[in-house]
Amino acid sequence: MQRSDFGTLQEFAQYIAQLERDYTDKLFHALYKNAGNIQAWYNEPNKVPDAWVGKMVISPKEPSAPWEQVGEIVITGVINREFPEWFPIGLPIGSETRLSSPDAVIHIDVKTHKEGDSDLDRTQDVRPEQISSDEDESYVQDTRGNLGDSPPKLPPYYVFGPNLLKVTISIFVTGLWRK
């Protein structure tokens, strides 16, 4: 596909919006289908506490950080298992997981929280290199103004050669674990 395949910019924007819905739905259904596995795999370290108890450096500022990483690893594993046709793409910027499909480059960032975190109901931190824009200096905005300290860094699409354009899709997954 190439951008000239669309008669208008509006048609191209509608195509991108539909791709975003389709990929979000696919990811949601894969995670929902694997909810039991996610919980089991997350709890797997508790079967081997001698392998890790007392061996991790725990930050006083972020004591739950190791468990947040466990959640991110498990969810990324589910995604890799559910979508083997999406292959890792070694882009130098983007979210934690960067995958290429036939029509998109999918950036997936997992945010994990423990139950009761004060920031769970607030806006999540998203770095500029995790979202895309078609304007070099355009900030993402909310009702109070610019979000972040710089504009988005990802392109809205990638051109991999003649007739090969892939849309940028950024997806954020928020996981919650009980204390």
pLDDT at 179: 60
pLDDT per 10-residue tile (average), the chain, 179 residues: 75 89 96 93 88 79 73 90 94 87 92 69 62 68 72 82 89 76
Of 123, 164, 166, the C-alpha closest to 147 is 123
Q: Which domains does the chain have, with CATH numbers?
A: 3-134+148-177 (3.40.600.20)
pLDDT at 31: 95
Instruction: Give the length of the chain.
Output: 179
Output phi, psi for 17, to 5 deg.
-60, -40
Q: Where are the alpha helices (DSSP H) in 34-160?
A: 35-43, 65-82
pLDDT at 167: 92
Structure token pair of residue 26: 């696919």
Structure token pair of residue 38: 């996610």
pLDDT at 7: 83
CA separation (Å) from 29 to 23, 34, 58, 179? 10, 8, 34, 26
pLDDT at 101: 96
pLDDT at 137: 66
pLDDT at 134: 67
pLDDT at 27: 95
Do 135 and 126 touch, CB atoms closer than 8 A?
no
Do 112 and 175 touch, CB atoms closer than 8 A?
yes
pLDDT at 121: 59
